[in-house]
Amino acid sequence: MSPSRLAPSLLLALLAVVLPAQATPGSGAPARRSLLGGQHIDGRCPPRFRRCLAFTFDDGPEILTTPRLLDMLDEHHVHATFFVVGHRIDGDAPHHRAQRNLLREIVRRGHLLGNHTYHHVVLGNLRPGQIAFEIDRTGDLVAQSTGHRPELMRAPFGMLTAPRSLGAVAARNLTPAYWMIDTHDWEVTSAEAVTARFRQELLEHPYGGVVLMHDTRPWSVRAFPLIMQVVARRNAQLVARGEAPFAIINLDQFVFPRGEDPLRGAPLNLRHPRGSSTSRPPHSLSR
Ligand SMILES: [Zn+2]
């Protein structure tokens, strides 16, 4: 059933729960709450959400693909988090300047930025000075472009297990962010394949969580509205059964002032960075 076929009252009810109190995209960034504090986001929904989806886009910004995604996010009233790579915004070439402007546009539309290193490398393979460069240079570039240093960190390939890389993230008080739903958009080449994978992942993770996608892939951008159709249909089924639908939230709703939430507000656990046996192991070397 398409959203347009839903009874108007049901559609309004769905929108009310799917879009909880978000700022209107394009109206400027929402009031900022610090995400710093040595926590980590393991990919599961915050406890106050029975079901949730939080979209994250890695490896950009990419001037050829990210702008269209921003328009699609606006159309669906979704705020997301972009984990950006430093080398894409460092330099005087026209595309570097355009991608720095793109960072500002991402923030202007109310999305969050996170640090995804400078060279997109496995931090644990590097010497301490190199790890510091990967994190700090990217943070500097984002801060110079937008006025805000990223507080969220996603290590390339989700690999943040080596003590020296974990220590570097903890020393900077960054919040590592993992994911629960992997669209595997790095190993396919069509929007339909990305959407099919998302649908399958939603069956495997019935309460949702953080979604991993890449705004550098055109098929991922084209998949986004198809994925929103999947969510709308699934939510209609859930509501019809009297169950909580998926709320679409952003990563700032996963982080709590220390002490507010004993489960998710715990200090970074250096031995078990993903925090839960229900989380997935580190992924293959493609994202
Ligand atoms: Zn990546």
Q: What is the pLDDT of residues 198-232, one digit of tens each?
A: 999 999 999 999 999 999 999 999 999 999 999 99
Model confidence at 78, pLDDT cuts 50, 70, 90, reads very high
- What is the rounded distance in angstroms from the CA atom of residue 22 to the CA atom of residue 226? 22
d(C-alpha 269, C-alpha 266), whole Å: 8
pLDDT value at residue 258 = 52
Work out the percent of the chain whose per-residue pLDDT is above 70. Answer: 76
1 Cα–ligand 1 center, Å: 34
165 CA from centroid of ligand 1 (Å)? 16
Tell me how far apart the alpha carbons of residues 180 and 54 are, in angstroms, rounded to a whole number. 10
Cα(244) to centroid(ligand 1), Å? 32
Distance CA 172, CA 189 (A): 37
Domain 3-26+36-254 has CATH 3.20.20.370: yes
For 148, counting Cβ atoms within 10 Å of its Cβ (0-12 exposed, 13-18 middle, 19+ buried), the class is: middle
Backbone angles phi, psi at 14, to 5 degrees: -65, -45
Please, which pLDDT band fits residue 119 given cuts at 50, 70 and 90? very high
Task: Check whether 89 has a pLDDT greater than 80.
Answer: yes
Mean residue pLDDT of the chain comes to 83
The residue assigned the tokens 């989700």 is 158
- What local confidence, expressed as pLDDT, does residue 200 receive? 97
Q: Where are the domains of the chain?
A: 3-26+36-254
What backbone torsions phi and psi does residue 130 show, to the nearest 5 degrees?
-70, -40
Quote the ligand 1 centre to 217 CA distance (angstroms): 12
Instruction: Give the pLDDT of residue 282.
Output: 34
pLDDT of residue 40: 86
Q: What is the pLDDT of residue 29?
A: 42
CA nearest neighbour of 74 among 50, 37, 106? 106
Check pLDDT > 70 for residue 5: no
Q: pLDDT tens across 167-199, in order?
A: 999 999 999 999 999 999 999 999 999 999 999
Query: Six-digit token pair at 99?
Result: 């991608």
Distance 116 CA to ligand 1 centre (A): 7
Q: How many CA atoms lie within 13 A of 185 on its CB side?
A: 29
Q: How far, in Å, from the CA of 182 to the mean position of ligand 1?
A: 12
pTM for the full model? 0.81
Ligand 1 centroid from CA 241, angstroms? 37
Q: Which residues pair with 152 in a beta bridge?
A: 114, 175
Whole-number Å distance, alpha carbon 286 to ligand 1 midpoint, is 8
Non-local (6+) Cβ contacts of 40 within 8 A are 175, 176, 177, 178, 268, 269, 273, 274, 275
Ligand 1: distance of its center to the CA of 271 in Å? 23
- Cα–Cα dist 229/91, whole Å: 39
pLDDT of 277 strictly over 50: no
Distance between Cα 120 and ligand 1 center (Å): 6
Say how far apart CA 134 and CA 130 lie, in whole Å.
6
Distance 186 CA to ligand 1 centre (A): 9
56-57-58-62 Cα dihedral, nearest 10 degrees: -160
Return the higher-pLDDT residue of 47 and 238: 238
Helix (H) and strand (E) counts in the chain: 7, 8
